[in-house]
Amino acid sequence: MSSNENPRPMTARPGAALSGEALIPGDKSVSHRSLILGALAVGRTHVTGLLEGEDVLATAAAMRAFGAEVNRLGEGEWEVYGVGTGGFAEPDDVIDCGNAGTGVRLIMGAMATTPIAATFTGDASLRRRPMGRILDPLKLFGAVSAGRAGGLLPLTLTGAADPVPVEYTLPMASAQVKSAVLLAGLNVPGETVVIEPEPTRDHTERMLKGFGATLEVEEGPEGRVIRLTGQPELYPQELAVPRDPSSASFPVAAALIVPGSKVRVPGIGLNPTRSGFFTTLREMGADLAYEDEREAGGEPVADLVATHGSLKGIEVPPERAPSMIDEYPILAALAATAEGTTVMRGIGELRVKESDRIAAMATGLRACGVRVEETEDSLTVHGGAVKGGATVATHLDHRIAMSFLCLGLVAAEGVTIDDGAPIATSFPGFVPLMRALGADLEGAL
Ligand code: S3P
């Protein structure tokens, strides 16, 4: 069930082959970081290709509330006049991050070592998600939090007046936690150290270096050791946000499963900490070509060309999970149409995303006639012909919504989702883009 006050049901049905070019919007992770780091630099950062989804717009509003000047100049083109490391002002109202876990966690990190207080909240999905994973390391710096039991939003965070540097080993594979600690470390004298046993997306490290921070990464026996020297002057940047590989996964998957389809998705980032889904697709036998492989903004990029063909189920190596963590819902949908069984292990983190994604996918797939098994940290999907005909609950989760709409394009009786509105958090143009490729999607978004 959606807790949205104004749910937008949508139905996807099988129809024509998909063809054409899909221009994917800017990367959500990089867009949040562009605004936050821009706000912590001194002077004008200019950003092109920014994702204008609701999550990122909430971060833009938050940066204004902390004292930065943030202006929209045109489509995807923004400027941020930053206040400098430690320069955040106390917001005079509650910071509402909407649906965005990345937004709220990174912003809490960015303010935790400045002596100001801020109260954070979000939508019903975000208010169910654990913040203790951020608050635990931020308390080590000297920040103090007060909020609901179990570390849930709304909560008030008071930044440390005399922060001390921290060495922190991540208890779970989370780029959000890593990033929150690094952003907090910016305003601390001395060296902040984060150790990540499993590598996660490294946009924060790359961008901090780009903004002029001194940051070193070493591979040690305990994992990646990241050392940040505190209190740098961050220099404003010219940033071109790459197109989002997680958003690209939806038209790519749809093209692979809808008979006769061929779709080109240009300029997709293939940073190895993000591209595990495409590797998995190739292991399943997908006809997925990388054309014009090149570098853009310091990241490997290629044009992806996805052509329909038969797919076979596989066992996804658990160590690949962090590099495709947001793509398991669409993988589960795709696996339902493949020949054989797909086993996804080591994915317990999916239970604390915008929804419990293991439960949401298992329940929705079963309603569509698919045989599925779940454990606390795994999902097994038995592929074949998908009947569909169900109305699936999306639980305020954009990726659950898009995954089931893609599945509906090949389910005999189509698939209805109870609410497509959350798609606007990460991929506002999804429905028109899919329709332009030829998808039969009914409903107003
Ligand atoms: C993100 C990290 C991941 C991912 C999220 C974006 C980021 O979350 O699921 O969509 O931008 O750092 P976790 O850090 O919780 O794994």
206 plus 250 within the same structural domain: no
Query: Which of the following is catalytic: 55, 202, 326, 397?
Result: 326
Same-domain check for residues 63 and 102: yes
In a domain, 70, yes or no: yes
Q: Where a domain ends, among 193, 228, 263?
A: 228
- Please indicate, yes or no, whether residues 176 and 281 belong to a single structural domain of this protein: no
Q: 309 and 384: one domain?
A: yes
218 and 261: one domain?
A: no
Query: Is 433 within the bounds of a domain?
Result: yes
Asked whether residue 219 falls in the same domain as residue 366, the answer is no
pTM over 0.85: yes
**Chain segment 189-240, per-residue pLDDT in tens:** 999 999 999 999 999 999 999 999 999 999 999 999 999 999 999 999 999 9
Which among 196, 212, 195, 183 is positioned nearest to 111, based on CA atoms? Answer: 183
Final residue belonging to a domain, choices 180, 198, 228: 228
Cα 33 off chain centre by? 12
Q: Residue 121 sits in which domain range? A: 28-158+167-228
Q: Say which DSSP state 200 is in.
A: -
With a pLDDT cut of 90, the percent of the chain lying above it is 96
9 preceded by a cis bond (ω within 30 of 0)? no
Residue 235 lies in a domain: no
pLDDT recorded at residue 3: 60
Q: How far apart are CA 143 and CA 162, in angstroms?
A: 9
Judge whether 210 and 232 are in contact, CB under 8 Å. no
219 Rama class: left (phi>0) / alpha (psi -120 to 50) / beta: beta
Same domain flag for 111 and 189: yes
84 in a domain, yes or no?
A: yes
Confidence of residue 180 (pLDDT cuts 50, 70, 90): very high
Q: Based on the domain organization, do 288 and 185 belong to the same domain?
A: no
Q: Whose CA is nearest to atom 5 of ligand 1?
A: 102
Alpha helices in 211-356 (DSSP H): 245-257, 276-283, 328-335
Domain end marker among 194, 228, 262: 228
Give me the mean pLDDT over the 326-354 stretch.
98
Assess whether 266 and 331 both reside in one domain.
yes
pLDDT digits (tens, 9 = 90+) for 269-320: 899 999 999 999 999 999 999 999 998 777 789 999 999 999 999 999 999 9
Query: Residue 54 C-alpha to ligand 1 middle, in angstroms?
Result: 16
Note the pLDDT of residue 1.
Answer: 40
Which ligand 1 atom minimizes the distance to the CA of 349?
A: 16
Q: What is the mean pLDDT of residues 255-259?
A: 98
Question: Is position 326 annotated as part of the catalytic site?
Answer: yes
Give pLDDT tens digits for 430-445. 999 999 999 999 998 7
Band of the pLDDT at 2, cuts 50, 70, 90?
A: very low
How many domains does the structure of the chain reveal?
2
Q: Return d(Cα 396, Cα 5) in angstroms, integer.
A: 11
pLDDT for 63-78, tens place per residue?
Answer: 999 999 999 999 999 9
Confidence of residue 105 (pLDDT cuts 50, 70, 90): very high
174 CB less than 6 Å from ligand 1? Answer: yes
User: Cβ(325) to ligand 1 under 6 A?
Assistant: yes
Give the pLDDT mean for 364-379: 98
- For the Cβ of 349 lying below 6 angstroms from any atom of ligand 1, the answer is yes
Q: Are strands 415-417 and 440-442 parallel, antiparallel or unpaired?
A: unpaired
**Is there a single domain that holds both residue 252 and residue 214?**
no
Q: Where does the pLDDT of residue 429 fall: very low under 50, low under 70, confident under 90, or very high at 90 and above?
A: very high
pLDDT averaged over the chain? 97
Q: Answer whether residue 318 is part of any domain.
A: yes
- Same domain, residue pair 254 and 338: yes
Encoded tokens for 224: 């990646």
Q: What CATH number has the domain bearing residue 391?
A: 3.65.10.10
Per the domain annotation, does 75 fall within a domain? yes
- Does residue 405 fall inside a structural domain? yes
> Could you count the other beta carbons within 10 Å of the beta carbon of residue 287?
16
218 with 193, same domain: the answer is yes
Identity of the amino acid at 325: I
Q: For residue 236, is it within any domain?
A: no
